[in-house]
Chain A
Amino acid sequence: MSPDSDKQHGHAIVNVRSKRSLKHKMIWLADHMRNEWQIYLMLLPTIIWMIVFLYKPMYGLQIAFKDYSIFRGVAASPWVGWEHFQNLFDNDQFIRAFWNTIKISALNLLFGFPAPILLALMFNEVLHATYKRTAQTIVYLPHFISTVIIAGIVTTAFSPTAGVVNTVLGWLGMEPIYFLTKPEWFRPIFVGTGIWQEAGFGSIVFLAAIAGVNPSLYESAVVDGASRWQMMWKITIPSIMTTIIIMFIIRIGNIMEVSFELIILLYQPSTWSTADVVNTFVYRQGLESGQYDLAAAAGLFNAAVAFVLVMSANTLSRRYSRTSLW
Chain B
Amino acid sequence: MKGKFVAGGAVIAAALAYMIYAGVTQSAVYFVTPSELRAAPVVGKAYRLGGLVQPGSLRWEPRSLDLSFALSDGKATVPVRHKGTPPDLFGESRGAVVEGSWTADGYFKASLILAKHSEEYKAPHDGGTTLGKDLIRTLKGDGRQ
Tell me whether A and B are bound partners: no
